[in-house]
Amino acid sequence: MTLTDRPAAAVSNPLEPDRLVARLRATFDSGATRPLAWRRQQLEAMQRLLVERESELLDALHQDLGKPAIEGWMTELRHVANEISDMLRHLEGWVKPERVGVRTVLRPARATVVSEPVGVVLVIAPWNYPVHLLLLPMAYALAAGNAVVGKPSEMSSATSAALARWVAAYLDRDAVCIVEGDAPVVTALLAQRWDYIFYTGNGRVGRIVMKAAAEHLTPVTLELGGKSPVIVANGANLDVAAKRIAWGKFVNAGQTCVAPDYVLVDRQVESRFVDALVRAVRHFYGSDPQSSPDYARVINERHWDRLHGLLADASPSQVVLGGQGDRASRYLAPTILRDATWDDPVMSEEIFGPILPVLAVDGVGAAIATINAHDKPLALYVFAEDQAVIDRVVAETSSGGVGANVTLLQLAVADLPFGGVGESGMGAYHGKFGFDTFSHRKAVLQRTTRMDPSVTYPPYTNLKQRLLRKVF
């Protein structure tokens, strides 16, 4: 349990993060993080880190999650690098004051919105995408001109150690720090006064984060999760739907916050869809997914036990594909369940693993009603060839985001906000939304002193009152 901000060097006491925060706040207060040149330097340095330390980071991801190298590169390293490129292209425009209109009665005047950094930011990341979900929020915080502390998950320990080492080597150590450690370290960090807290994880810890933030009236973004549903309509392209759903579900062994959690398929096409889903999984990973170089592993034994317990409660007749596992290697086969019900344990919580229940419903209306009867999801997916069906799902449901005939890829569009609603979170980032998340949008009004009409000042004569009623 260490607070690491330099290679092979720790803060003097892991339970005294106040010294660390004070050091970063001194850097921020000095103005060092505000210049555009500094922000660019940090973003470019992070890009170099991702390129030059690619092999070390991919090895760490494989140690922690069994991630195939190309999967880790696409979903973690390259994704972050691409968004940083987008930040660098737009940063100068983002930091410029925005002119807004001024009513006639206030003229001559100039009104602008100035984006200023909020200060010292804490980013708490999860274990499932430990590079992506730590460095990307940190990059947006730096783009906005803040000092930032990143807390990776101790569960992805190899990646955490690699990030602690290389972030300190590449970025400004007076303004950027990685803190390693487990629950007591997080608790100690949350006791500090931050200017913003960005948390990605589950709702239980999200409530703890929000409660701690409330002590200092610190604003938060909570990127949570939940059971993200998929609707497969009658008339959908079942083969394409099956491939895209299987890929979105089983990448990273299902440990993705926006992975399809369950499928609501029109009863008339259920059998054909399930058959197509089985074919897709076998095509991706072969008859023995355990030997596939393209299939990841569950993060640890505790999560493996939880997932295996969900399968133990399913009847053999429900298991269409998979169900096998090996605790020692943290392998759990891509598993498809049929005829699941809301009384089954697998439907009582976010699965966050390679188990996909399929539920038959009587059409799109029934699917919408089912979704609306539960917590608002982080992502919602619909597969349909009829645009009217897609429009209806978008209009009649609430979710953090919608993917129509896609899964996961909404995250790859930098200009789309990514965030939850209700139980799935609050706040959003990516693109300009990420920059704005870590900025305070300050209102500024300037008026000239060359003109100073007396009509707005007392005494309010009848004439002044008549004029004011006309111009206000």
Q: What angle do CA 235, 241, 247 make, to 5 degrees?
A: 170
Indicate the helix (H) or strand (E) that contains 370.
Answer: helix 364-372
Rg, Å, the chain Cα set: 25
d(CA 233, CA 124) in angstroms, rounded, equals 38
- Cis peptide before 316, with omega less than 30 degrees from 0? no
- Residues 83, 223, 270, 350: which is the catalytic one? 223
- Residues 257, 270, 350, 423: which is the catalytic one? 257
463: left (phi over 0), alpha (psi -120 to 50) or beta: alpha
d(CA 214, CA 30) in angstroms, rounded, equals 27
Give 326's strand partners.
331
Confirm if 400 and 430 have CB atoms less than 8 A apart. no
Residue 219 structure tokens: 């604003």
Q: How far is CA 451 from the centre of its chain?
A: 50
Q: Name the DSSP class of 418.
A: B
Confirm if 293 and 328 have CB atoms less than 8 A apart. no
Q: In what order do the strands lie in the sheet with 319-321?
A: 319-321, 335-338, 355-361, 262-266, 229-232, 379-383, 401-404
Q: Is 215 part of the annotated catalytic residue set? A: no
d(CA 30, CA 338) in angstroms, rounded, equals 60
β-strand pairing of 355-361 with 335-338? parallel
Q: Is 257 part of the annotated catalytic residue set? A: yes
Active site (catalytic) residues: 223, 257
